[in-house]
């Protein structure tokens, strides 16, 4: 969980209860996810402190302006941080998946790798060929399920949703877990 303190500094904490039983790759995904959220919060604070008003109708806004416009558009009274997940879903899924791909050889057990190469099975018995990049993307979407992008890309396609769930179920089969 990302939480800013009174001075605006960010602190990323991992809930011990949520970490128990997760694979090292899932913990790495959580750390990357929360680090990005902390950076987006820092950038938002920088914008607030600058007093600049972004032009949200601009054809090619700077990343700074675009983030601010996400904040204005997606912020709700009950969830002022929702813009971070929307921004991450639109801009960071490929980068996070690539980072997980780079970390994977060091964070996944050989037993898990050997097991997954045999194939992926959905809960209804459908068999898929195992694809590591799809697996990393499935892990990346965890925590972003409420975003518009997830709903458009994954939820609205029943086959993608079924495969997404199968990859997440498979991730629970990793024998080396945090304890």
Q: Is residue 81 part of a domain?
A: yes
pLDDT of residue 170: 87
Q: Is the confidence at residue 144, as pLDDT, over 90?
A: yes
> Residue with structure tokens 């209804």?
124
pLDDT of residue 99: 95
Least confident of 62-76, 83-97, 149-163: 62-76
Residue with the bigger pLDDT between 146 and 61: it is 146
Q: Is residue 114 part of a domain?
A: yes
Question: Mean pLDDT, to the nearest integer, of 72-86?
Answer: 75
Task: Report yes or no: 1 and 13 within 8 Å, Cβ to Cβ.
Answer: yes
Question: Residue 131's closest CA among 140, 121, 119?
Answer: 119
By residue range, what is the domain housing residue 113? 2-171
Number of structural domains, the chain? 1
pLDDT of residue 68: 78
Per cent of the chain over pLDDT 70 is 92
**What are the tens digits of pLDDT across the range 21-75?**
888 899 999 999 999 988 888 888 887 788 777 777 777 777 777 877 887 787 7
pLDDT of residue 4: 59
Q: Is residue 176 part of a domain?
A: no
C-alpha span between 101 and 95 (Å, rounded): 10
Q: Is residue 57 part of a domain?
A: yes
Least confident of 52-66, 131-145, 150-164: 52-66
Q: Is residue 179 part of a domain?
A: no
Q: Is the confidence at residue 6, as pLDDT, over 70?
A: no
> Residue with structure tokens 């304890």?
179
pLDDT of residue 64: 73
Q: Is residue 129 part of a domain?
A: yes
Which residues are CB-contacts of 13 (< 8 A; sequence separation ≥ 6)? 1, 3
Strand partners, 3: 11
Q: Is residue 91 part of a domain?
A: yes
pLDDT of residue 83: 84
Per cent of the chain over pLDDT 90 is 23
Q: Is the confidence at residue 176, as pLDDT, over 70?
A: yes
Q: Is residue 177 part of a domain?
A: no
Q: Is the confidence at residue 5, as pLDDT, over 70?
A: no
């Amino acid at each position: 969980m990302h939480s800013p303190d009174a001075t605006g500094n960010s602190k990323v904490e991992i809930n011990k209860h949520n970490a128990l039983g997760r694979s090292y790759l899932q913990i790495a995904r959580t750390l990357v996810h929360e680090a990005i959220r902390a950076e987006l919060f820092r950038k938002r604070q920088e914008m607030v402190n600058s007093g600049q008003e972004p032009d949200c109708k601009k054809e090619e806004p700077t990343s700074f302006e675009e983030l601010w416009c996400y904040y204005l558009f997606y912020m709700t009274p009950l969830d002022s941080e929702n813009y971070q997940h929307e921004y991450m879903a639109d801009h960071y899924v490929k980068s996070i998946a690539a980072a997980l791909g780079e970390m994977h050889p060091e964070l996944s057990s050989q037993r898990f790798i050997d097991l997954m190469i045999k194939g992926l099975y959905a809960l209804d018995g459908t068999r898929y060929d195992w694809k590591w990049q799809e697996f990393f993307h499935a892990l990346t979407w965890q925590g972003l399920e409420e975003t518009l992008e997830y709903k458009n890309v994954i939820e609205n396609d029943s086959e993608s949703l079924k495969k997404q769930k199968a990859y997440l179920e498979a991730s629970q089969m990793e024998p080396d877990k945090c304890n």
